[in-house]
Amino acid sequence: MQSLRMEFVGFKMIFIVALFLMGSVVNSKESSEFKLPTNFKPVSYRLDVTTYLDDKFMFEGVVDIQMTCVEATDTIVLHSNSLNIDTKSVVVANGGENVIPVSSVSFDPKKELMHVKSTVNFKPGDEYVLTIPFTGNITDDLVGYYRSSYVDKENNQTRWLAVTQFEPADARRAFPCFDEPAYKATFKIRLGHKKGLTSISNMKMMKETPIPSKPDYVFDEFEESVPMSTYLVAYMVSDFAYIEADSRDDEVKFRIIARKDAAGQTELAKNAGPLVLKYYEDYFDEKFPLSKQDMVAIPDFSAGAMENWGLVTYRETALLIDPDVATIDNVHRVAEVIAHELAHQWFGNLVTMKWWTDLWLNEGFATYVAARGVDFLYPEWNSFQVETVQNFLRVLDLDSLQSSHPVSVAVGHPDEIAQIFDTISYTKGSFLLHMMNTFLGEDTFKQGIRNYINKHKFSNAEQDDLWSSLTEEAHRQGTLDKNLTVKLIMDTWTLQTGYPVLKVIRDYSADTVTLSQERFLTIKSNGTDKKSCWWIPITMTTSMEADFNKTKAQSWLNCENNNLTTPLAKDNEWVIYNMQMAGLYRVLYDTRNWMGIVSTLNDPTKYKTIHTLNRVQLIDDSFSFSQVGDMDYGITFQLLKYLKHEKEYAPWLAALGGLGPINKLMKRTPNQGVFQNYMQRMLSSVYSEFRDMAVELNGFEEIRFKNLVTAEACRHRIKDCTEQALELFSKWMKISDPDNNNILPRELKPVIYCQAIKYGGVEEWDFLWERYQRSNVGSEKAKLLSALGCSSETWLLNRYLNWSLDSSIIRKQDAATVFYSVASSDIGFYVAKDFLYRKIADISEYYQPRGDRVGRYVKVIGSQMKTKEELDEIQSFINKSSAYLKGADLTINQTIETVKINTEWTSKFYHKIVNHMV
């Protein structure tokens, strides 16, 4: 599944907002309390569902589950949630003929379980068929079997559709089932619907038959599926258009499905989908096992996309591209999400984790391989390096909190599962795979993955299975010492929270260097982190050698030799560790070594001798070490001076990312002006390269670079930046057909929209709101929604926030985007905070049953708080609102920790740091 990560900041990404959907972490003993007993194993399901969309929004159906008894018992336990079941109609048969007497059918709503008890014992080894008729409501909750709608442009009528979203644990809302990933079975599905609509499911449709009792309705019957987990079952009833891609060799039939008004936005998906699918078939050396692959754009969708086997569902912004308005970020997002979901067809669908503890095997892997897929589609973009940088920066930030969690995390209650679809599972998981690929080598890594898939296909696996496949291959190829295993190394990265800082101390008189490690924490703990210890792949170079291509581990720092001293020649100006950020760790040098690095960077003829990725790490590490007091801010600001001759995007991304938190802490304080002046001086030379907004660039990094710098220049009031934006917007407002004639430079629209709304009034706001309402393009609507939150008019912001809780005005999937955009501006922060405090009950109710969503609202407010008074205030709000924050515990804990970090920083550095900026 593709988490929303980026929708907020433009693109899946920037994740910087990452959906930190997390939850309380429980130990595995407790998790078994919520798992099904192992008495029965489902073999196949026959599922009939009839959908009623006209007025009553409900479905009715019957499921026959063929299953094998594994252990003697008199009770079948399975999942059911929010379904109406006539208990008298529940039947159990043995071999299809003999009916087994059912003595009672009962439900445990808290655990979402259904118990079917018999008067006799079921026998191990025997097969049984359990038949359950059921009905349910097609809700607007965006989970289970839910409804979505759109307005048909031709006749201005609202059209309804019904679609499933079962991951992680909501198949049980659509039909009674064994709703855990380890219970794989085949599915034979028949979908009843009104004539004039169409239905799709995981497999190809075989035939349509009339329903005698309902003359207006038909049944569509689908081929039997391959064995799969319930969370991957999918079906939809709609009046959508079907666009076929040219499939090579007609092996896999590929279709893009969307509302007919958006059928013209499917070209990119139509081309990229089959190419990426073929790329993965080659990479994994395993054919795609189904005969068709559908990809559907859904108007209302809570995540980014969902990898249902053979029927991948997407938000419109994650699948559709209008070539006339799309930015390169929109194209990148769509390519990335398609690549992510198609990677899941192998990693997740073909081989599935046994339990949600190993969710990272699905999500981390799909994220990692998607970056390779995008690189395959657009080799000229250098996007793999950009992705590596973003992942590195994102993970290090979140994972330095005490309240982070391990990549492999025990979960118990189903509510907790949704909360680990977060930056740790996706991004840290992905970066750790990149790190393994680097120390094992591409050949070993790829063959190890192929062996793992071949061994576990159509079945389930856990982390240790992946480790053993990689170890066997590494020993076979001789790429890992026979005394080492991947498990020994990687368990230290996946089973522990956090990551290490490598401490590098040079003894300049003895010509030696000593390495040690400890956990990096933004708030130093009283000793708990001392126990943490990682197997760190050591790579290094010196000023004399300056060879940054040696990315394969030269040695290991581990728990046995956690104080390693080696010789180092005297005449080295500096030593740098972690070549091209191949390992997930920070590096802290002694002051003299830092000053040697600073002097090389500040020499315009020499700074490029240090690899781009290492310049990124040096910038990011120096900010982080200064923030926690391990290094003087003076060194960091000396280092930043070199940026006046830096011409590459990635180091600037790291620098502006590091200055962002300082900006947040200076905002709304008397020193905001000092920081603004510093930023204007800092940006002046690079902004001069990109000053003219009307000049359109080519190339992924160049465009991103210009967008980044222009947004910062306008944010910090570089005069002609705002002037250009307002002038261009004003011209656009005067054009006779602004919807079809948007004269703004397409890549800079988000910056220009925001400036115009910030410095404009009601007229500008209403103009942009009208553009939002008229737009037929999901990605454009997302940009407009974010920009409308930039207003400086408090009443407009209040009205906008109220609208966000009315799904007839703003889709539920977009409500958080509205809140985030308002809360991120200077004036909007106060308006959004007040709205959150007053409306917490309404917000919580609006998002049910997904409590994790509410945590994001608290997080965006808390991340901007920085005083003791504010800490007390938000703590008091959280205490009072605990009933409304269920299912968001981890986000809440991280928010409180972040406010404490901000408060501590402000008391220590607020006055000192100003001296480095004047």
344 is in an annotated binding site: yes
State the Cα–Cα distance between residues 20 and 426, nearest whole angstrom.
11
Residue with tokens 């309240």: 403
797: its two tokens? 């912001």
- Closest CA relative to residue 147, chosen from 159, 161, 135, 137: 161
The b-or-e profile of 444-466 (16+ CB within 10 A means b, else e) is bbbbbbbbbbeebbeebbbbebb
Q: Order of strands, edge to edge, in the sheet holding 235-238?
A: 144-152, 157-165, 235-238, 198-201
State the Cα–Cα distance between residues 54 and 66, nearest whole angstrom.
33
Q: Is 160 helix (H, G, I), strand (E, B) or coil?
A: strand
| Dihedral angle sign, alpha carbons of residues 658, 659, 660, 664 | positive
340 is in an annotated binding site: yes
Which residues are CB-neighbours of 219 under 8 A, at least 6 positions away?
A: 48, 190, 191, 192, 208, 209, 210, 211
Contact between 687 and 721 (Cβ < 8 Å): yes
Cis, bond preceding 299 (omega within 30 deg of 0): no
Amino acid letter, 423: T
Contact between 399 and 499 (Cβ < 8 Å): yes
H/E stretch holding 203: none
State the Cα–Cα distance between residues 229 and 172, nearest whole angstrom.
12
H/E stretch holding 148: strand 144-152
**Continuous H helices in 441-482:** 442-456, 463-477
Contact between 536 and 583 (Cβ < 8 Å): yes
Between the alpha carbon of residue 156 and those of residues 81, 264, 702, the distances in Å are: 36, 19, 41
Cis, bond preceding 109 (omega within 30 deg of 0): no
Angle between helices 463-477 and 486-494 (to 10 degrees): 140
Q: Is 60 a catalytic residue?
A: no
**Continuous H helices in 378-499:** 383-398, 414-417, 423, 429-440, 442-456, 463-477, 486-494
Radius of gyration of the chain (CA): 28
From the list 7, 341, 712, 780, the catalytic residue is 341
112 is in an annotated binding site: no
- Closest CA relative to residue 429, chosen from 398, 386, 461: 398
Length of the chain as a residue count: 918
Catalytic residue positions? 341
Binding-site residue positions for Zn(2+) = 340, 344, 363
Binding site as annotated, residues? 340, 344, 363
